[in-house]
Amino acid sequence: MVGSKALPASQLCRRYNLEALGFTDTSELEDLREPLGQDRAVEAIRFGIGVRHQGFNLFAFGPSGSGKTEIIRRYLEPEAAAKPVPDDWCYVNNFTTPDHPKMLRLPAGRAKDLARQMENLTAEVRVVISAAYESEDYRTRLDVIVEQFKLKQEEAFENLHKKAGEKNVAIVRTPMGLALAPSREGKVLNPEAFSKLPTEEQEQVKKDISELEVDLQAVVRMLPELEREQRREIVKLNREVTSFTVDHLIDEIREKWRDCTAVLVFFDEVQDYIINHSDVFRLSKDEAAETIPARMAADFLMQQERVIGNCQVNVLISHKADGGAPIVYEDNPTVENLLGRIEHRSEFGSLVTDFRLIKPGALHQANGGYLILDARRLVFQPYAWETLKRELRSREIRVETLSQMMSLGSMVTLQPEPIPLDIKVILIGDPTLYYLLSQNDHDFNNLFKVPVDFDDRVPVTDEAISLYAQFIATEARKKQLMPLHRSAVEQVMERMTRLTSDTERLSSHTRSLSDLLSEADYWAASRSAPRIEAQDVKHAVKAHIHRSDRMRERTQEQFQRGTMMLDTSDAKVGQINGLSVLQLGDFAFGRPSRITARVHLGRGRVIDIEREVELGGPLHSKGVLILSNFLAARYTNNRPLSLNASLVFEQSYGGVDGDSASSTELYALLSALSNTPIKQSLAVTGSVNQFGEVQAIGGVNEKIEGFFDLCNFRGLTGDQGVLIPESNVKHLMLKDEVVAAAEKGQFHIYSVTSIDQGIEILTGIQAGELDAAGNYPPESVNGRVKARLEVFAESARQYVKSGGEDKMSGAGDG
């Protein structure tokens, strides 16, 4: 056959032989201590968690399922354990401005002690105050105050009575109040008796009554002042008794907090608050129900609960004294879950709140340590990304609700004092999100200065193979699976190499490996085997593919039943089998397609029908545009390219993109121009550049297997095969059926570096090389193409000369 030879079966799939490692199964292998193939990422993690300057937060990115979170935790945990335990945080009542609660910063592990002590204190205070107010001493002193003011009142009235008696005037009580009336010998004179008195005496009595009325009014006005003074004395007594009762209780607690100035200030405020509200503390619920009217009892009890609660402590964050720095992973990073929230309760139909209803968020929990967040979930939560950036910039945690941020609603809420923030944030996401944020968010590079780039591929070396065996053993033990026999390890490594589509790489994608081992363990257990064998791994791979390949089977069925037209025998002009890949979820499969080309006289246009109907993507269109330049440069460099050509994927009803079919389309064009049939037993993939060099493409394994499955169904003849770029040979990890067919000579894989080499294999005719005169051999493919184009050029010249220039222009536009 003209052209290159088919690749030997040994080059179609990489096999692993682990005998040199000297183990029978993975139970004999040690655990892998360092992450496999993640040297760059590990270096970045160590740097990121070590540097303490602001803005050096981490963004770990890589393929989903590559074990990013687990690896980061592996290095975070010892670092966090060695760090000092961060302080505890509490909120207490602001007795001056209740809607601005104060924060307390306490040594680690002491916040709960303070909260417990304050609960005990308020309970004791109620008991001792109630006892103090019921004591004999208090009642005696209270009686003295009451008696003193009673005596003052009586003395004032007695003096007035005496003065009035000296002037024969009596003080009488009427429905309208106290009044003055003339009297004789202790008896009040009625109007008739008074009128019988001498005129001078009447006038004197009237004068005396007028003077006494002034004194009476002064006494009456003095009574409220005496009552106020009495109340002040009682309050003074109550404060003195309460202070005497409470001071020693608070002093006992105060001694335990001499090292915390903020707590001592809080104790002083609580002490003064209790003294000012001693009347609330003195009554128990039962006493309140007995002494207060039922309509007012509920209000009093609610007030009592609020007053007592104001003396307590809301422990926001409390740490164990020996726990190290916290590591927090927040799975749902909403604004409330990051900042905390302010809850409300219903009181008589209204929503109210206080400092005790402030709840912590992930930033509080991770303060002084590390916070791990899923970047994608973070940016998709309303306001969460902007909120996190604001807190990191200000280095403070401000508990706010979304309604406060957006200035919505009029519900009563709080503005707690912000808490200082000292935290290292680790975002975990995919590379696309990292680069989008880096390019479009101006704050991102200032706040997340440490990229942690995870790779999911390991170069295949002797050392890497040994480490990869340990990697498999480690994952199996971690998931408590059966040990793997050496042959099973070899099969796993072959599968993981297939996932990279590169024989020189092994996939370190943790989730894919873990899933494969779990499935193999299931099949081994189903046959009651003591360990996983090679057959179990193969069974797992086939079962996994079978669960996902319904659409592949449906596509193959269309070719097998003749619904989709594709020839795998004979030879035809301008017709070739191209290969593409369809991706459905995490499953990809190859789909052969018939590509046809037609040529005629025109003005140098290669029409991409897919693009004309808007089914072709930009990369596919790019590949087609290269073809016309290739034809013009190679065959008509001294004259215009006088042809129109059309290319189409037959029976293609979806979008087409990528340039992997550009070499295939060029072969079809060369066949149509040279009138040389192309063998339909062969399929082609590969892109081409303007110099006719065949370039690498993706999905080579799936493409080959897609065409092989069709040929295998129709019957392998020994003439069938696929042309691939030589640069794709290192990517071949074909399934066993293809390799076996190649060993028997029933199916062939050809690697090509140029269009000339490929056209010789496809047609069985030499491509032809330029001689010294610049001509190709007449019977070569290139010679035929050049001759055909020269005929087109001459025809075009004659046509234009005969006056058909306008029509020629129209033909060219078609």
Strands 327-330 and 370-374: parallel
Q: What is the pLDDT of residues 550-592, one digit of tens each?
A: 888 888 888 888 888 898 999 999 999 999 888 888 889 888 9
Q: Which of 475, 544, 86 lies closest to 319, judged by CA? A: 86
Token pair of 782 as six digits: 């290139």
Split into its structural domains, the chain has a count of 4
What confidence score (pLDDT) does residue 809 get?
A: 47
Q: Which of 383, 385, 455 lies closest to 425, judged by CA? A: 385
Identify the residue with better confidence: 719 or 625: 719
Residues 443 and 471 in one domain: no
Identify the residue with better confidence: 661 or 217: 661
- The torsion defined by the Cα of 516, 519, 520 and 525, in degrees rounded to 10, comes to 160
Look at residue 542 and tell me whether its pLDDT is greater than 70.
yes
Q: In whole angstroms, how large is the CA radius of gyration of the chain?
A: 48
Confidence grade of residue 406 (pLDDT, cut at 50, 70, 90): low
Query: CA-CA distances (angstroms) from residue 334 to 352, 365, 380, 402, 448?
Result: 24, 15, 9, 10, 20
Q: pTM of the full predicted structure? A: 0.81
Residues 427 and 529 in one domain: no
Amino acid occupying residue 613: V
Contacts of 46 (CB under 8 A, 6+ apart): 75
Residues 607 and 754 in one domain: yes
CA atoms within 13 A on the CB side of 88: 24
Mean pLDDT of 654-679: 82
Q: Which residues pair with 179 in a beta bridge?
A: 172
Angle between helices 700-714 and 736-743 (to 10 degrees): 60
Q: How far is CA 770 from the centre of its chain?
A: 62
Q: Give the span between the Cα atoms of 538 and 706, in whole angstroms.
A: 20
Q: Give the span between the Cα atoms of 357 and 90, in whole angstroms.
A: 12
Q: Residues for the chain: how many in total?
A: 814
**660 given a catalytic annotation:** yes
Token pair of 154 as six digits: 């009586």
The answer to whether position 225 is within a domain reads yes
Annotate 459-512 with three-state secondary structure: ECCHHHHHHHHHHHHHHHHHCCCCCEEHHHHHHHHHHHHHHHCCCCEEECCHHH
CB atoms within 10 A of CB 603: 17
Is the distance from CB of 352 to CB of 345 less than 8 angstroms?
yes
Element (H, E) at 180: strand 177-184
Angle between helices 781-801 and 805-813 (to 10 degrees): 140
Is the distance from CB of 282 to CB of 133 less than 8 angstroms?
yes
Token pair of 191 as six digits: 């109007």
The answer to whether position 109 is within a domain reads no
Residues 387 and 483 in one domain: no
- The torsion defined by the Cα of 239, 240, 241 and 247, in degrees rounded to 10, comes to 90
Is the distance from CB of 74 to CB of 41 less than 8 angstroms?
no
Residues 300 and 247 in one domain: yes
Q: Which of 280, 177, 168, 278 lies closest to 234, judged by CA? A: 278
Is the distance from CB of 601 to CB of 792 less than 8 angstroms?
yes
The answer to whether position 4 is within a domain reads no
- The torsion defined by the Cα of 601, 603, 608 and 613, in degrees rounded to 10, comes to -100
The answer to whether position 277 is within a domain reads yes
DSSP state of 257: G
Q: Which residues pair with 172 in a beta bridge?
A: 179
Residues 444 and 503 in one domain: no
The domain boundary residue, chosen from 281, 309, 337: 309
Residues 514 and 504 in one domain: yes
Q: Of 446-460, 461-475, 556-570, 652-666, which range is least confident? A: 652-666
Q: Give the span between the Cα atoms of 729 and 7, in whole angstroms.
A: 9
What confidence score (pLDDT) does residue 131 get?
A: 82
DSSP, collapsed to helix, strand or coil, labels residue 395 as coil
Q: What is the pLDDT of residues 60-73, one digit of tens each?
A: 999 888 889 999 99
Q: What is the domain extent for residue 78?
A: 38-86+320-454
Residues 583 and 660 in one domain: yes
What confidence score (pLDDT) does residue 222 get?
A: 72
Q: Give the span between the Cα atoms of 370 and 52, in whole angstroms.
A: 12
The domain boundary residue, chosen from 548, 568, 586: 548
Per annotation, catalytic residue among 424, 679, 703, 786: 703
Residues 125 and 250 in one domain: yes
Query: CA-CA distances (angstroms) from residue 420 to 251, 259, 427?
Result: 30, 20, 21
Q: Which of 449, 441, 498, 491 lies closest to 469, judged by CA? A: 491
Identify the residue with better confidence: 814 or 154: 154
Q: Give the span between the Cα atoms of 621 and 657, in whole angstroms.
A: 8
The answer to whether position 100 is within a domain reads no
Look at residue 814 and tell me whether its pLDDT is greater than 50.
no
- The torsion defined by the Cα of 404, 405, 406 and 412, in degrees rounded to 10, comes to 0
The CATH code of the domain that includes 400 is 3.40.50.300
Q: Which residue blocks in 395-482 are alpha helix, DSSP H?
A: 402-405, 431-440, 444-447, 462-478
Annotate 548-617 with three-state secondary structure: HCHHHHHHHHHHHCCCCCCCCCCEEECEEEEEEEEEECCEEEEEEEEEEEEEEECCCEEEEHHHHCCCEC
The answer to whether position 105 is within a domain reads no
Q: Of 43-52, 86-95, 655-664, which range is least confident? A: 655-664
Identify the residue with better confidence: 281 or 56: 56
The answer to whether position 419 is within a domain reads yes
**735 given a catalytic annotation:** no
What confidence score (pLDDT) does residue 811 get?
A: 43
Mean pLDDT of 342-369: 89
Q: Give the span between the Cα atoms of 474 and 308, in whole angstroms.
A: 57
Residues 513 and 622 in one domain: no
Mean pLDDT of 293-300: 62
Token pair of 28 as six digits: 């004999």
Q: Which of 305, 256, 258, 255 lies closest to 277, judged by CA? A: 305
What confidence score (pLDDT) does residue 338 get?
A: 95
What confidence score (pLDDT) does residue 288 get?
A: 54
Identify the residue with better confidence: 113 or 166: 113
Percentage of the chain modeled with pLDDT above 90:
52
What confidence score (pLDDT) does residue 235 get?
A: 78
The CATH code of the domain that includes 720 is 3.30.230.10
The domain boundary residue, chosen from 283, 309, 335: 309
What confidence score (pLDDT) does residue 245 get?
A: 83
Strands 575-584 and 682-684: parallel
Residues 591 and 715 in one domain: yes
Q: What is the pLDDT of residues 601-651, one digit of tens each?
A: 877 666 555 555 555 556 556 656 777 778 877 887 777 777 777 888 787
Q: Give the span between the Cα atoms of 140 and 301, in whole angstroms.
A: 29
Look at residue 168 and tell me whether its pLDDT is greater than 70.
no
Q: Give the span between the Cα atoms of 577 and 276, in whole angstroms.
A: 94
What confidence score (pLDDT) does residue 813 get?
A: 35
Look at residue 752 and tell me whether its pLDDT is greater than 70.
yes
The answer to whether position 46 is within a domain reads yes
What confidence score (pLDDT) does residue 1 get?
A: 41
What confidence score (pLDDT) does residue 137 get?
A: 83
Residue indicated by tokens 């050049």: 786
Per annotation, catalytic residue among 660, 662, 663, 687: 660
Q: Give the span between the Cα atoms of 510 and 474, in whole angstroms.
A: 11
CA atoms within 13 A on the CB side of 667: 39
Contacts of 353 (CB under 8 A, 6+ apart): 342, 343, 344, 345, 412, 413, 414
Residues 707 and 624 in one domain: yes
The CATH code of the domain that includes 490 is 1.10.8.60
Mean pLDDT of 175-192: 68
